[in-house]
Structure 1
Amino acid sequence: MTTYKLGTIALLTGLLAVTSCQVNDLEPQNSLSETTAFQTPERIELAVAGVYDGAQSGFYLAGAVRGYPFGAAHLQQGDMRGEDMISTQAFYAVTYQNTYDATSPNNGFFWQTTYAMINRANVVLQGLSTVQPTAQLTQAQINSYIGELRFLRALGHHYLVVHFARPFADNPTTNLGIPYRTTPVTGGSSVDQAVQQPRNTVAEVYTQILADLDFAEQNLPVTRAARITRATRGAAIALKTRVRLHQNNWEAVITEANKLVPQAAPFTSPIGGYQLTASPYGPFGAGNKSNTESIFSIENNDVDNAGVNGAPGTMYTAASLNGRAIIAISPLLWNQPFFPANDIRKSDLMVSKDPVTSPGRGAYFSKKYSDPTTRTDNAPIIRYAEVLLNLAEALARTSTGVNDRAVALLSAVRNRAVPDAANRYTAGSFASNTDLVKAILNERRIEFVAEGMRWLDIHRLAPDPVYRQAPGIPVKVSNGISNFGPLYTNDPTTTFTTQAGIPYSDYRFIWPIPIEEIVNNPTLATQQNPGY
């Protein structure tokens, strides 16, 4: 796998964070100028690796690295915006308690570092447009690099639009999304142009995301040595299934997913050979670096990771296992009737309970990230399990009766974790496709806990009166409880102190444009999200 370390790989000079002309990307010691960075295949490879580095280890306060945006932060922020995990300490309280504003660092640096990564991609894309193919670097190889960069650009814009704008299902042609940046900012007039670019509508953002992913699909390789941590054709298709799901374009979800998913079990992808691991723990622990299910993850390693204040292994792991016990599984999820007591995802294989005297205060913690010491766990972005559930939901939503294939896809994900046949689903488990869709949505909550996926589903479903799982930001377990232990009862009637939810109509449902943008960008200053 490619190991990329900020300060030792080749990045480009003048690489400004697109968020504003005041936020500069750090200048590495061994940088190359824009005139020399694309002169050899080796330098081009380093420049592309630099964009992945921007995805993995963007800056935070005082230049600290905390895994912004995709090295870890997307996991933690996505989970803390939802109700299925608890912020046991003050570390993520601003996000968990919805007290953020335009000056809050968590949402501010998510914006800044994501646009910084996007700008890196745009700078390298501009450089690649000047490269002439040779025997050592063919046009197909150049196009493959372009595909990687456009994949990362699409990924960044999608996470921005689901945090800073209303869902696609809510007036996408009139609601403002975020600026879709395709032009590099390297200083001078390019900065002037960038600060004048307005927000695109939500619909325009999705159109450009899909254009980037379509190009990526056509030009990325099917397989590569760094299978999980470098974009592939399967990764582009998989991400398109997610994007189309956010558009409620069920037919397009089915079209894209069918490229990766056979009609019947065993569900082994004809592109990339993806398949579910036998155990739900397969993509984690020892399998975190290489498994059949992970389609795309962001690399972390012992010399370049999100640090003790950001790495998944420290944040999600129990104190009894040398973690910091900061993000726990919520009893709100644990006690749901669709999450059986003997589910493997509740077993010692995948969770650990801290003593009440520890920082975890008796809560259960995920064991998906097994290295809190050297913090090498990759940060998952998309797994084959998600593609199967995306397809299952789309099939169920477009069928007149209970869709057998949707049930089979749901069961493929669920049954590997549920040993008791009584808790497994058959077509007869559902009176209607409405019930089937709800079961699929519930399964997503269990399967993707501790992977930052919860906000993505809350966001896309919020305008849906039938399938939304909360009328906005959900009610959460109060993080001021002194002993969480007695709350994990497997009984949905268990009561405990809660934190009030926030209606979808409330301005806090979406994050504010950061103050740096408002101060420095006159166009965006007139387009702040209402209420902030």
Structure 2
Amino acid sequence: MQLLPILLMMYGCNGFLDIKPDKKMSIPQTLEDCELLLNDYTALNSSYPVLGAIAAEEFYLTSADWNSISDQDDRNAYIWSDEPSLKASAWQSSYKVVYIANQMLQVLDGLDDTQKQSSQFKTVMGNAYFFRAFAFQQLIEIYALPYDKATAETELGVPIRLRPDLDVISPRATLKQSYDRIIEDFKNATSLLSSTSIAKSLPAAVAANAALSRVYLTMGDYQNAYTYADLAWKASPQLMDYNTLDIQADYPIARFNKEVLFSALTQYSDAIGNYYARISPELLAAYEPNDLRKQIFFRPSDADPTAFAFKGSYDQGPGGVFIGLTSSEVILNKAESACRLGQTAVALADLNSLRKSRWKTGLYQSISETDPDRLLDLILQERRRELVFRGRRWSDVKRLAADPLLAVELKRTVDQKVYILETNSLKYAFLIPQLVINQNNNIQQNKR
């Protein structure tokens, strides 16, 4: 059956999927059909929203380059503009993942009991739950405000679609309902997935645990963030020794390397491309002389030899931003959570383990800081140095905004005009594409 071309057609804005399938078209009906759907790397792994990466302060654009970017929405994301979004591709592509996952779950639900006992069934169902949760999580990081337990039951999250019905129009769930669904889906995935997967594009149980640590850290639930980061780290305690990488290579970090637990990318944007995006001088200055990451991650810009471009992609190429799950993120989640829980010895050991793997051989001197506040600051600095162009900076800026000691006010200048993103700004939640709002009056726009 020609399943994948059909699914590529079946998404839009009206009810999220406005192109109705011809009844004569083939639709997935078997377990094997569902496995086939998981092969669509473009749809399931590489079309997530890029707006958060553009909005983060890891790079800057010159005024000339900003004006040269053809995509108005990307230009607006760079300056945190309130202009209505002109396109809906970031929203559509994520809900297409949700649609595919829901379609698989519906097919699986109708299979006979014998098939439901098979390992093949459990793996496919675990994948469906994982991909649905991952897509919801990406959407919530772009289109919802930071999680606050005190307001989560009233703040708006994203529409939570649990069935592939094309005619159902879903309103936005609350922020709490959205996070509850994401957590439940990832936990379902951990119970169904095996310890290994056949490819980095498909999750194993370790990836689902890593995803849960990411979600709980975003929520400020440090006990659960530690628990799941610890589970993921014990399952895959792998860090690359950066001394083994070729510093002179165009892209020194191998694709699907041993740190990658699950591979995923954003859509591409010229705003984050190597020709336009110049690395923040403040970020460059944060690397110490013997830290190999400065040479592994950055190179002189082709457009401006006085500036630097990024070359440290975990996808080994100039495409979208790598937003997948890695053991290096996991150990940082574990270190931060441990520190916040008062387990400073654990946090310190994790921080030193990561840093030593990034340092020139024989030159690393361990950090011995035991004051919890100062240690936390060191861990957060390390997140910024390590997780460059990994989709985490925007999330970190949002979640840390509520703490006056950790909040960051972002500034950018274009055409001699200074743009400021104040801490706790309503602009932490991007405006939902106007096309979606126009065609679905059940969806409430974000506040401004």
Shorter-chain TM-score bucket reads: 0.7 to 0.9
Given that residues 316 and 369 in structure 1 are in contact (C-alpha distance below 8 angstroms), is that contact kept between their aligned partners in structure 2? Answer: no
Please report how far the alpha carbon of residue 421 of structure 1 lies from its aligned counterpart in structure 2 after TM superposition.
Answer: 8.2
2:300 to 331, 349, 353: 353
Given that residues 80 and 95 in structure 1 are in contact (C-alpha distance below 8 angstroms), is that contact kept between their aligned partners in structure 2? Answer: yes
Q: 3-state DSSP class of the match of 1:435?
A: helix
Pair 1:366–1:142, CA change in 2 (3 A): same
Report Cα offsets for 1:166-193 as digits up to 9, x if no partner: 111262121111111112133xxxx1x3
Pair 1:53–1:127, CA change in 2 (3 A): farther
Residue in 1 aligned with 2:389? 450
Asked if residue 127 in structure 1 is aligned to residue 107 in structure 2, the reply is: yes
Larger helix proportion of the pair: 2
Please report how far the alpha carbon of residue 442 of structure 1 lies from its aligned counterpart in structure 2 after TM superposition.
Answer: 0.9
AA partner of residue 78 (structure 2): Y
Please report how far the alpha carbon of residue 158 of structure 1 lies from its aligned counterpart in structure 2 after TM superposition.
Answer: 1.1
AA partner of residue 221 (structure 1): S
Percent of aligned pairs with the same amino acid: 24
Residue in 1 aligned with 2:411? 475
Given that residues 398 and 424 in structure 2 are in contact (C-alpha distance below 8 angstroms), is that contact kept between their aligned partners in structure 1? Answer: no
Pair 1:131–1:12, CA change in 2 (3 A): farther
Asked if residue 437 in structure 1 is aligned to residue 384 in structure 2, the reply is: no
Instruction: State the distance in 1 between where 2:205 and 2:105 align.
Output: 18
Given that residues 103 and 514 in structure 1 are in contact (C-alpha distance below 8 angstroms), is that contact kept between their aligned partners in structure 2? Answer: yes
AA partner of residue 80 (structure 2): N
Pair 1:505–1:458, CA change in 2 (3 A): closer
AA partner of residue 193 (structure 2): L
Given that residues 255 and 316 in structure 2 are in contact (C-alpha distance below 8 angstroms), is that contact kept between their aligned partners in structure 1? Answer: no
Given that residues 137 and 182 in structure 2 are in contact (C-alpha distance below 8 angstroms), is that contact kept between their aligned partners in structure 1? Answer: yes
Residue in 2 aligned with 1:408? 349
Q: How does 1:24-63 map to 2 (within 5 A)?
A: 24=18, 33-34=26-27, 37-39=28-30, 41-50=31-40, 52-56=41-45
Pair 1:274–1:96, CA change in 2 (3 A): same
Residue in 1 aligned with 2:284? 334
Asked if residue 390 in structure 1 is aligned to residue 356 in structure 2, the reply is: no
Residue in 2 aligned with 1:515? 434
Instruction: State the distance in 2 between where 1:115 and 1:239 align.
Output: 19
AA partner of residue 185 (structure 2): D
Instruction: State the distance in 1 between where 2:254 and 2:321 align.
Output: 6
Please report how far the alpha carbon of residue 243 of structure 1 lies from its aligned counterpart in structure 2 after TM superposition.
Answer: 0.3
Instruction: State the distance in 2 between where 1:439 and 1:49 align.
Output: 40
Instruction: State the distance in 1 between where 2:406 and 2:365 align.
Output: 22
Residue in 1 aligned with 2:14? 20
Aligned length: 434
Deviates more, 1:123-132 or 1:148-157: 123-132
Please report how far the alpha carbon of residue 133 of structure 1 lies from its aligned counterpart in structure 2 after TM superposition.
Answer: 5.3
Given that residues 16 and 185 in structure 1 are in contact (C-alpha distance below 8 angstroms), is that contact kept between their aligned partners in structure 2? Answer: no
Residue in 1 aligned with 2:144? 165
> Structure 1: which 5+ residue stretches go unaligned?
1-6, 57-66, 262-268, 300-304, 318-324, 481-496
Asked if residue 112 in structure 1 is aligned to residue 92 in structure 2, the reply is: yes
Instruction: State the distance in 2 between where 1:115 and 1:381 align.
Output: 18
Residue in 1 aligned with 2:80? 98
Q: 3-state DSSP class of the match of 2:180?
A: helix
Please report how far the alpha carbon of residue 163 of structure 1 lies from its aligned counterpart in structure 2 after TM superposition.
Answer: 1.3
Please report how far the alpha carbon of residue 129 of structure 1 lies from its aligned counterpart in structure 2 after TM superposition.
Answer: 1.2
Residue in 2 aligned with 1:297? 263
Q: 3-state DSSP class of the match of 1:288?
A: coil
Report Cα offsets for 1:56-82 as digits up to 9, x if no partner: 4xxxxxxxxxx531xxx54xx333211
Instruction: State the distance in 2 between where 1:370 and 1:162 align.
Output: 21
AA partner of residue 415 (structure 1): K
Instruction: State the distance in 1 between where 2:160 and 2:347 align.
Output: 34
Residue in 2 aligned with 1:84? 58
Say what the alpha-carbon RMSD is for the aligned residues. Answer: 3.3
Pair 1:113–1:101, CA change in 2 (3 A): farther
Deviates more, 1:111-120 or 1:437-446: 111-120
Residue in 1 aligned with 2:291? 343
Given that residues 255 and 314 in structure 2 are in contact (C-alpha distance below 8 angstroms), is that contact kept between their aligned partners in structure 1? Answer: no
Pair 1:202–1:234, CA change in 2 (3 A): same
Asked if residue 219 in structure 1 is aligned to residue 202 in structure 2, the reply is: no
Instruction: State the distance in 2 between where 1:362 and 1:25 align.
Output: 49
Pair 1:529–1:376, CA change in 2 (3 A): closer
2:308 to 364, 367, 371: 364
Instruction: State the distance in 1 between where 2:225 and 2:315 align.
Output: 35
Please report how far the alpha carbon of residue 141 of structure 1 lies from its aligned counterpart in structure 2 after TM superposition.
Answer: 1.6
Instruction: State the distance in 2 between where 1:104 and 1:421 align.
Output: 53
Q: 3-state DSSP class of the match of 2:324?
A: strand
Please report how far the alpha carbon of residue 391 of structure 1 lies from its aligned counterpart in structure 2 after TM superposition.
Answer: 0.8
Q: 3-state DSSP class of the match of 2:209?
A: helix
Please report how far the alpha carbon of residue 426 of structure 1 lies from its aligned counterpart in structure 2 after TM superposition.
Answer: 2.3
Pair 1:246–1:25, CA change in 2 (3 A): farther
Instruction: State the distance in 1 between where 2:243 and 2:392 align.
Output: 16
Given that residues 153 and 176 in structure 2 are in contact (C-alpha distance below 8 angstroms), is that contact kept between their aligned partners in structure 1? Answer: yes
Give TM-score, length-normalised by structure 1: 0.73
Residue in 2 aligned with 1:258? 230
Pair 1:11–1:53, CA change in 2 (3 A): farther
Asked if residue 183 in structure 1 is aligned to residue 163 in structure 2, the reply is: yes
Give TM-score, length-normalised by structure 2: 0.86
Residue in 2 aligned with 1:530? 447
> Structure 2: which 5+ residue stretches go unaligned?
none
Instruction: State the distance in 2 between where 1:275 and 1:443 align.
Output: 18
Instruction: State the distance in 1 between where 2:224 and 2:320 align.
Output: 33
Pair 1:247–1:459, CA change in 2 (3 A): same
Please report how far the alpha carbon of residue 215 of structure 1 lies from its aligned counterpart in structure 2 after TM superposition.
Answer: 0.5
Report Cα offsets for 1:388-431 as digits up to 9, x if no partner: 010111111111xx71110111111122223498874423x35x
Pair 1:208–1:242, CA change in 2 (3 A): same
Given that residues 101 and 132 in structure 2 are in contact (C-alpha distance below 8 angstroms), is that contact kept between their aligned partners in structure 1? Answer: yes
Given that residues 53 and 393 in structure 2 are in contact (C-alpha distance below 8 angstroms), is that contact kept between their aligned partners in structure 1? Answer: yes
Please report how far the alpha carbon of residue 99 of structure 1 lies from its aligned counterpart in structure 2 after TM superposition.
Answer: 2.0
Given that residues 244 and 252 in structure 1 are in contact (C-alpha distance below 8 angstroms), is that contact kept between their aligned partners in structure 2? Answer: yes
